[in-house]
Structure 1
Amino acid sequence: MTPNRASCRPAGTVTEITSAREELPRAEAGPVRIAVAIPAHEEAELISSCVHAVLRAIAHAQRVGAADRALVLVAAHRCTDETAARAREAMQRLPRQVAAIVVPDDGPGPVGAVRHRLVTRAAEHPWITPEAWVFSTDADSRVPTDWVTGLLAAAQHSRADAVAGLVALQGWHADEAARAAYERIVAAGIHGSSHDHAYAANLAVRLSAYTAVGGFPPAPHGEERELLQALRAAGHTVATPHAPIVLTSARMPGRADHGLGALLAALAEREQHLPSLSEPVAG
């Protein structure tokens, strides 16, 4: 599949993640250190597959010399289920030079605040220097094996301090009209080899740039878009490649009141108050 079609394909259940790869240069002159931040709220059913996919992507990046030491953090945010326990189980067999932590989080609820607390915790770890890269994904998502290498390569290709990738939806059982409406929204934000969309499930930023602009804002939704806007306003380049693509849940309702899940629900229900077809997607 092409990156464009994958990012616009909302229907059905995808059993494997594939990414169309561009021929890009190595991400850095040498391996970089990375931190991966994963917020989770009542995600006992999905967190294991998310963590396993992240660890595979890290191991691949280490094998090819793109990544050095890596830290994976899962925030168990106000969980009453087995999210924390299952995340710890998924972290039992770690690649070399990888540390993983489950962080109990009973703090304020906006997901932007949860993400920022995770990044702050990562920055306190001795492995994570200002030049390290912070990767963001979601507990209901699965990253491809080339996720770390692909985003780092896109950053090098564009001399960027941040990379915003695309997602493909899993399990959205909407009718043909709703699927077509979603595809039009996504396609409207695609411009040649770049795009206007923002997904916290597929994002990476150099820690020094993240810190300089204050990080994820404590927003109930759209925190990734606000972060990218702040980075651009401060003069940082944001790469927006079509690949690698992250597979993310199309569950309705979503965790954020006005996030991707809410958009999908509105489209499925054919509500009248929908975003403009030219409005980029954030989720």
Structure 2
Amino acid sequence: MQSILVLTDFSDAAFKAAQYAAMLSKVCKSKRLILFHAYQTIPVVVNEPVVAAGRESLHEESLQSMEIWQESVRQFTDPSTSISFFVNDIDLAEGTNALCKEASIDLVVMGITGKSNLEKILIGSNAVRLIADIQYPLLIVPKNTPDRMPAKVVLTTDLKEVKEKISSSSIFKFLDAIQAKLLVVNVARKDKDVSHLRTEIMDLHSLLDRYTPEIHYINHPDTIEAIDEFAQHHQAGIVITFHEQQNRPAALFHKSVSKKLAWHSRLPLLVIPL
């Protein structure tokens, strides 16, 4: 992971994510850490000078905050890692995708907090919306995440199209970089015959056996609760899940596992887009 992008709204939760990203950059020997703040001004009256003045003021304030952030984050990174920043008047998802493409970003990192219902709505909704719209791996870091690299990571699988999902994703780059113990978990809502899943299970082993994973099959009525409990019980540091991109109208009404995990997980969540 040579290039990591950190999204910030200058909150405490965002700074925690930046610290975590800096720690990752050290372990992965990343060459670049980029900070990005996207704001979007909505003019009330077209061609009014006050609108332009307000936009310029907001941009200048954002630049000043970014300069402070850049110096604060620098103390957590390796001296060989360059730190730069971008500030733009643009939609967050649109700006993130554009910058990722332009800068060849390997991983996007953002913070999330569940301290209060209001914070969860304001900050958490950004994370959930990005899951639907972003086209690059997204690591969502809760505010209370420990300042240490994970010794174990949990990969969730529904045992559907395993080969297509895993082989076409960037998960190998991440697993190779962090060198953590891999735990794979499949959650079924009731006991069922899995003989028809033999091909999927064989694909799972053929793709991941080089990491000597532990593979677990769990029966539980609530998939999200089961994954969270499993990760906590095994003292995992990151949960990895996949998210299938959909058209915008469908995404608004679709409650995917990845979105639900973003709301409820107490651990960093890595979302791999498909």
Question: Does TM-score exceed 0.5, indicating one fold?
Answer: no
Question: Normalising by structure 1, what TM-score?
Answer: 0.35
Query: Which structure has the greater CA radius of gyration?
Result: 2
Question: Normalising by structure 2, what TM-score?
Answer: 0.36
